[in-house]
Structure 1
Amino acid sequence: MLETMDVEASFPPARDFTMARESTNSVMCRLTDPDGTTLGTQMYLPESAGPKELNQMVNKLLNNDEKLPYAFYISDQELVVHLGSYLEKNKVSVEKVLTIVYQPQAVFRIRPVTRCSSTIAGHNEAVLSVAFSPDGQQLASGSGDTTVRLWDLNTQTPLFTCKGHKNWVLSIAWSPDGKHLVSGSKAGELICWDTQTGKQLGNPLAGHKKWITGISWEPVHLSAPCRRFVSASKDGDARIWDATLRKCVICLSGHTLAITCVKWGGDGVIYTGSQDCTIKVWETSQGKLIRELKGHGHWVNSLALSTEYVLRTGAFDHTNKHFSSPEEMKKVALERYNKMRVLLLRDWFLDQMISQ
């Protein structure tokens, strides 16, 4: 008779699990997988056996070289106590054969991040800004060495070193289609780069009187191909630019102090946060002020939209699909945004904003 299952060494060979019942402290059991296939033959198990002991037994019967974790179910109820407690609580007769379903569990462990997975070297001065590409395949970095670098995340190697700025690169932003990157510097100039070649597109965009504090592109579901983006500056203005025409098309003026952050929302408006303690909401066709949000007692340092992830990734998802045209990309991006919009409307908010 199997009297204890506290340690694996106490198990007899698998052929010996079929035994006559010699004590009232054991119960006849049948082990099956989720499909109903019986493991071994019916056997008497001690009422003191629980999930730990059953795990040992199943691994032994299956001849697993590497011990795997299993969960056990009786009548669709997970067994978390020893058999005796289950029988007593559920008033199960020991005269009947007890069917126990074993189910393998996922083998993974969650560990705290305690080490750096990789170090990508190349910049000669401090890295001041970083941004992932919408498809998650590349990383862009801006540095105090006045360069922008594009990196391949699969190989963790540099793709391009983009030179053109004359001062620190403070802010960078990918276009939602991943084809362009805009960088802003302490000198107040903006440069648009071709991410496929690393080449500068046209001359630097000038207009701001002080350094750039933020850049945000118009979402691809609103306009494809991606052409417009907005920049914010220490000079208190935000400017909407056309990347194709390479000129400022609208200047958003109204803040009394520096603009610290800017977001282009999925519903087509622009949000700016400022050291004047306000958040302003702008429409983007003529640059008119729609609303001014007051309440902060000090500078507004950052903004976040509830739809930010789907706006930033645009049409790209885990499938890594390639698009045949800007119109196809716009359609897919709109579908993704509308799905998110339905979820947010269900919870009574859309493009909800968090400011700090």
Structure 2
Amino acid sequence: MSKLNTSKNTKDFRISVAPMMDWTTKDYRYFARLFNPNIVLYTEMVTTGAIIHGDAKRHLGFILQDLPLVLQLGGSNPQALAQCTKMAEQWGYNEVNLNVGCPSDRVQNNKIGACLMAEPQLVAECIDQMQNAVSIPVTVKHRIGIDDMQSYEEMLNFVDTVAQTGCKHFIVHARIALLQGLSPKENREVPPLRYEDVYRLKKDRPHLYIEINGGIKTVAETIQHLQHVDGVMIGREAYHNPYLLAELGQLWHLDIPNRFEIMAQTLAYMEQRIIEGAPISILSRHYLGLFQGLAGARKWRQALSGGNVKSIHDIQNAIQMMQGFLDEQA
């Protein structure tokens, strides 16, 4: 396996789990944190309207174990974004991130997400007011381009315009987004990955902190990217194969936790959440990928899906089944 350049120490690089709608909920974040204490976690994207006009406690609440934690905001009104950023600081978030990468029709219609790449001056105004409202970092997550704005030079102009505000941390999804004609899922898969554009951005703007995102699935790939950029953001692989987060612990020389130890801690959390009224099916869906890549992974997924889980006892039975199965394979 590739080794991390020794010129980078644990203070120099960052590994994070991408904000993912319906996935990076507080229940998933509790589970993810058990694998690795150093991974930076994100909330789902939350719109400014949901916070200001809705249930702020529901959208902003988290537990201390989540930290380090970033709130990702969706919006394009500088005043509203500044207000929500201030609230995030008061709640105890480590950082606030502005979404300039989501390609869905719903967010486009509300002038949120990737469509904002076409308006770098507006994004700069948003970031400027957000930064002025708080002392915690404000960052931007964006694509390498959208629609007819696909060149490296156009992305560089976007970054330079926003960086004039003093913003120094950019998380770059290494695909363009085609806002007309492709679904959000297709926009995560169809446009080709252009990692070299992100590497070039770091080379051309060495004073900026550049974090790469898109299609990253292994420790080896993560280490390779860290030879060129400052950080790596992992998306769906961190959900479908959460044990990857434990394997990444080797970058900090951490002991890798046992899957069954993680589930033992998770059971106590689940019991508390069930008391609070959380449906067990909503909780158990986050654990389906725990044994991804191992013999018996399909049996585990089947045991925890399709309405098969009706109580904690069902999950305990699934754990015992996997322990027995893996013991037989050993």
**Same fold by TM-score greater than 0.5:** no
TM-score in terms of structure 2 length: 0.24
More strand by percentage? 1
TM-score in terms of structure 1 length: 0.23
Q: Which has the larger radius of gyration?
A: 1
